[in-house]
Every structure is written in C-alpha cells, then in structure tokens.
Amino acid sequence: MALKDPMRGGGPPQEHRDPRLTRLYRAASGEEPPARLDAAILAAARREVGSRPRAVGSFLRAWRMPVAIAAVIVLSVSLVTLMMEEGRDPISEAPPPVAPPAAEAPVPPSADAVKELRDAPSKERAAVAQPPVAKPEPAPAPRVSVPGSRGLESKEPGAPAPAPAKTAAPFPSAAQEQRQADDAAGRRALPQPEPASAPRADRESAPPAPARALRAPPPAAAPAEAARARSEAGALRSDRPLAGGLQKSALLSELEREPPEKWLERIEELRRQGEAAVAGEVLAEFKRRFPNHPLPAGLR
C-alpha cells in the first residue's frame, strides 16, 4: 500500500506534526500524577538541597541586589567623607606657620647643632654655637606644610612625639628631605641627646618618658626635632653677612631648588670671582645636601 508520507524528506519539526491529531490528543489526555506523589517528590528535592520553600528564597533573591547596592553606596559615601575630612584637616585646622612657641627661642645647642658644627667650616661654628636669634623667621606661605600639627594638638599629653619627618618642615624640597634623613641617620648613630626644649634640671631628675611627657604642657612639648629644624632653618636663612659682601641666605635661597650641577656651577663662579670663603661655605652646604653627589676634581 502506498503511503502518502507528509514527513518524507525531513524538515522542521512542524512538518512532522498533525495539528488535528495533536488537538485531539491534548483534549483526550488530562491525566496528572496524584498530589501525594507531587508532595513526596518536592519534599525530596528540598531535602536534597537542604533549603526552605520558595517563598523565603524568592524574598531573599528579591532583596539581595537592592541591599547590596545600598551597602555599597553607604560604604562609598562614608569612605569619601572620611577621605575629604582627612585631606582638609592639615589646611583648614593647621595653626599659622609662624609664631613658634616661646620656649623655642632659647634653644640650647642640640645634637644636630653639634653635627652642624662638625660639618660647617670653623668660621660658622661660632654663629651656630650661639643660641639662635630670637627673631622668628617667617617661612614662605606656599611652602609651609604642617601635616603633623593637628596630631600634636589632638594627641594626649602622654602620647609619644611624632617622627621628625612628620613635623614642621619649612623646606619641603627633596634636597631638604634628603638632608633631614641624613640628619636622622646621624642622630641614630650618635648617643641620643635629651630633647632640646627640656630644661636641664628637669632632665637630670627626669622620670621615664611617658611621665615626663605628661608633665610638659602640650604646646611646649613640641618635639625637639621640630625646634631643631626651625632653628637650623633660621640659621641658614639668617641674613648674616658673609665674606665678600654676599649673604649666605640669599645664595641658599637662590640655589635651593636648583639641581646639584647648578650648585657646582655657582661655586665655581664664586671661586672665579675670588669669593673663596663664600664658595667654601656653599660647598660645605652642598656636601651636606648632596652627600653622594660626585664632586669635580677642583672642588675635592
């Protein structure tokens, strides 16, 4: 018997279907598994994953994303706020860069001063050994940075003094930072002196450090390193007349931001002009600032 085959030749699934048969079959077949079977299978499925019914799961799913987004936003805002506050503090709450504490003026020679004496030419030793001039040196406004000032003010009296590098830095240039690092290294090598601001009598009967710090009032407890840096800066920038009519501070100000090569050129120039003494002082300062920089044969 020849069979008219509608599916012959293959084709998409629709061509293998008979809509009338499908309609009739769907009308005829309505059997369903019993409810107890449904319950048993669904319970087994839940037991397998150890989860709760969908109501709870869907609730958690629905709120998981909004809660996560809200948490991220809150954390971000908090972080940004904190960062803004931290960044604003040194500018908005820093005390004026001038007006060092009164106790700063009569600073006795400190270990740094001794070091400076060792480094500086003999002509300048007398000036450095003298107590610095009480006249405060106003630092240039744009260069003033007092990152640790707020910490000093807000710290408890018993808190340890901050590191010298974080105290007042009137010359925040790279050369100055290098010099301060060198100074710190030198101080570590030398026997540790007492803080310069502490009176001698107090030092002799000094209790352990925390108690001593408690005794000193917070403003007067400015670290000796900060005072030393300020006194040193004052010494360098004081308009002491130097040999040949030149002023060392003017020269240093001029060379402060210059590269080492410029310093060497200037020293050579001074020598050529017959200002050997000034050239020697500048050279000494150059050696302090750039201890690792090679010197020309004529300057060694």
Residues that bind other proteins (CB under 8 A): 1, 3, 5-8, 10, 12-13, 16-18, 20-22, 24-29, 31-34, 37-38, 40-42, 44-46, 48-54, 57-58, 61
Within 10 angstroms of residue 278's Cβ, the number of other Cβ atoms is: 22
Q: Torsion angle, CA of 271/274/278/282, rounded to 10 degrees?
A: -10
CA angle 167, 112, 191 (to 5 degrees): 105
Q: For residues 53 and 208, which CB has a smaller minimum distance to other proteins in the complex?
A: 53
d(CA 264, CA 285): 11
Q: For residues 6 and 274, which CB has a smaller minimum distance to other proteins in the complex?
A: 6
Residue 247's DSSP bridge partners are 241
The amino acid occupying position 132 is P
Residues in the chain, how many?
A: 300
CA angle 233, 234, 236 (to 5 degrees): 65
Q: For residues 37 and 134, which CB has a smaller minimum distance to other proteins in the complex?
A: 37
The number of angstroms, rounded, from the C-alpha of 271 to the middle of its chain's C-alpha atoms is: 42
Q: For residues 32 and 156, which CB has a smaller minimum distance to other proteins in the complex?
A: 32
Q: For residues 58 and 273, which CB has a smaller minimum distance to other proteins in the complex?
A: 58
Q: How far is the CB of 48 from other proteins (least distance, A)?
A: 5
Phi/psi of residue 247, each to 5°?
Answer: -110, 130
Q: Are 136 and 124 in contact (CB under 8 A)?
A: no
Q: Are 116 and 128 in contact (CB under 8 A)?
A: yes
Q: For residues 52 and 293, which CB has a smaller minimum distance to other proteins in the complex?
A: 52
How far, CA to CA in Å, does 238 sit from each of 71, 132, 231, 245, 255?
57, 10, 10, 14, 15
DSSP string across 180-206? HHHHHHHHHHSPPPPPTTS-HHHHHT-
Q: For residues 56 and 134, which CB has a smaller minimum distance to other proteins in the complex?
A: 56
Q: Are 123 and 277 in contact (CB under 8 A)?
A: yes
d(CA 229, CA 148): 14
Q: For residues 17 and 203, which CB has a smaller minimum distance to other proteins in the complex?
A: 17
Q: Which two tokens stand for residue 79?
A: 């972080």
